[in-house]
């Protein structure tokens, strides 16, 4: 008799990810102790030995709740009991700009980067599910974001550190991971932050998505996740075109910053042109997390609605200036 269908589904998702990673290299599971990441850890512990590779588990202690250290220790014991080796926790300090959610995420990824590099891991597996994907798309839609934001979370990505991250469970819903934990005899921890309506994602999860399901009928979560997949294909292709156009229009500039030829920009489709402008601004040093569509639109008017405007100020102390047939991106006072 085979495993429970939920267990089989999670194991299959992990097996597919392991199959195209370098052989015999370690893989780590990031595990909070919640149902999604715990099911992921259980599946990795089962599949990795059969694929002939070592596997470990890491939990991050954000220090945001009383008793978080003890909670992290209990997760480590579970990971070790599953057979993951090494199994450990990393305590981080959560501070910085962007609010507590962004600060916690930054601290978490920095710690996972360090652990992966130290252990020589081929990849770090994350437990995000189809439900997480739908929530991400819905929040991007509410912000009025473009195709890249609406394409949600990537199935895999590399950080600037070079660490490779994979999300095997994006095609599975949260109910499946919880059933898998029950079938594997694992007792997931329900983070109280996941029920705190102070967080936008919590309100989307417990209020917005159920309201959409009630109004539009079942299947909203799956539809949002499917939309993310399709938009990701579109966004990837448009960004390939934009990267080539950016390289073709790059103009030598004696001063500081980045320069792009205006004439070529004006000939591009808007979907490509705005991506080139964003690339130029980010390359010059504007922080991508704060460079918004309103900034890119203002820079585009230097190309398509030029009436002698002096410059456009950008996040990060940068500005864009049109001069001698070029758009110049650089530090204020340098362009």
Which residues in 161-317 belong to E strands, given as ranges?
A: 164-166, 258-261, 312-314
Do 171 and 270 fall into the same domain?
A: no
The DSSP code for 22 is P
> Which residue did the predictor score with more confidence, 252 or 13?
13
Q: Which of 143, 174, 192 is the last residue of a domain?
A: 192
Do 72 and 182 fall into the same domain?
A: yes
Number of C-beta neighbours around residue 170 at 10 A = 23
Whether 158 is in a domain gets the answer yes
Structural domain including 32 reads: 5-128+154-192
**Residue 10 confidence (pLDDT):** 98
Whole-model pTM: value is 0.85
Do 162 and 299 fall into the same domain?
A: no
Do 270 and 170 fall into the same domain?
A: no
Q: Is the pLDDT of residue 94 over 90?
A: no
**Residue 97 confidence (pLDDT):** 62
Do 115 and 257 fall into the same domain?
A: no
CATH number of the domain where residue 80 is located: 3.40.50.620
Q: What would the pLDDT profile of 232-242 be if each residue is shown by its tens digit?
A: 999 999 999 99
Do 40 and 166 fall into the same domain?
A: yes
Q: Is the pLDDT of residue 255 over 70?
A: no
**Residue 38 confidence (pLDDT):** 98
93, 28, 233, 139 alpha-carbon torsion, rounded to 10°: -30
Q: Could you give phi then psi for residue 307, rounded to 5 degrees?
A: -130, 30
CATH number of the domain where residue 254 is located: 3.30.465.60
Do 112 and 257 fall into the same domain?
A: no
Q: Is the pLDDT of residue 98 over 70?
A: no
Whether 141 is in a domain gets the answer no
Q: Give the chain's length.
A: 335
Whether 54 is in a domain gets the answer yes
**Residue 277 confidence (pLDDT):** 96
Tell me what the pLDDT averaged over the chain comes to: 91
> Which residue did the predictor score with more confidence, 252 or 4?
4
Whether 322 is in a domain gets the answer yes
Residues of the chain above pLDDT 90, percent:
74
What would the DSSP string read from start to end of 120-140?
Answer: T-SEEE----HHHHHHHHHHH
The DSSP code for 192 is G
Q: What would the pLDDT profile of 171-210 be if each residue is shown by its tens digit?
A: 999 999 999 999 999 999 888 878 888 888 899 999 999 9
Q: Is the pLDDT of residue 303 over 90?
A: yes
User: Number of folded domains in the chain?
Assistant: 2
Q: Which of 96, 121, 94 is nearest to 30 (CA)?
A: 121
Residue 141 tokens read as: 């839609």
Over range 264-293, report the average pLDDT. Answer: 91
Q: Is the pLDDT of residue 99 over 70?
A: no
Whether 222 is in a domain gets the answer no
Whether 198 is in a domain gets the answer no
The answer to whether the peptide bond before residue 255 is cis (omega within 30 degrees of 0) is no
């Amino acid at each position: 008799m085979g495993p429970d269908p939920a267990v089989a589904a999670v194991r299959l998702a992990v097996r597919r990810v392991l199959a195209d990673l370098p052989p015999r290299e370690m893989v780590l599971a990031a595990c909070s102790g919640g149902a999604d990441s715990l099911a992921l850890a259980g599946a990795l512990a089962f599949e990795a030995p059969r694929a002939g590779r070592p596997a470990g588990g890491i939990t991050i202690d954000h220090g945001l709740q009383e008793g978080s250290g003890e909670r992290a220790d209990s997760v480590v014991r579970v990971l070790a009991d599953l057979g993951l080796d090494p199994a450990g926790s990393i305590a981080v300090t959560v501070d910085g700009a962007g609010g507590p959610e962004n600060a916690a995420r930054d601290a978490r990824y920095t710690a996972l980067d360090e652990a992966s590099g130290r252990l020589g891991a081929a990849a770090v597996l994350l437990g995000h599910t189809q439900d997480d994907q739908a929530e991400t798309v819905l929040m991007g839609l509410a912000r009025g974001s473009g195709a890249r934001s609406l394409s949600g979370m990537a199935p895999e990505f590399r950080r600037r550190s070079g660490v490779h991250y994979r999300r095997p469970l994006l095609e599975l819903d949260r109910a499946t991971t919880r059933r898998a934990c029950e079938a594997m005899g694992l007792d997931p921890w329900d983070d109280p932050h996941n029920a705190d309506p102070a967080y936008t994602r919590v309100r989307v999860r417990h209020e917005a998505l159920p309201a959409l399901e009630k109004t539009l009928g079942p299947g909203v979560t799956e539809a949002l996740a499917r939309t993310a997949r399709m938009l990701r294909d579109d966004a990837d292709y448009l960004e390939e075109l934009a990267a080539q156009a950016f390289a073709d229009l790059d103009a030598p500039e004696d001063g500081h910053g980045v320069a792009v030829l205006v004439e070529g920009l004006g000939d591009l489709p808007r979907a490509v042109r705005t991506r080139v402008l964003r690339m130029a601004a980010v390359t010059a040093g504007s922080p991508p997390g704060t460079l918004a569509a309103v900034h890119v639109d203002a820079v585009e008017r230097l190309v398509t609605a030029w009436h002698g405007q002096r410059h456009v100020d950008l996040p990060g102390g940068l500005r864009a200036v049109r001069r001698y047939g070029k758009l110049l991106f650089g530090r204020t006072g340098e362009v």
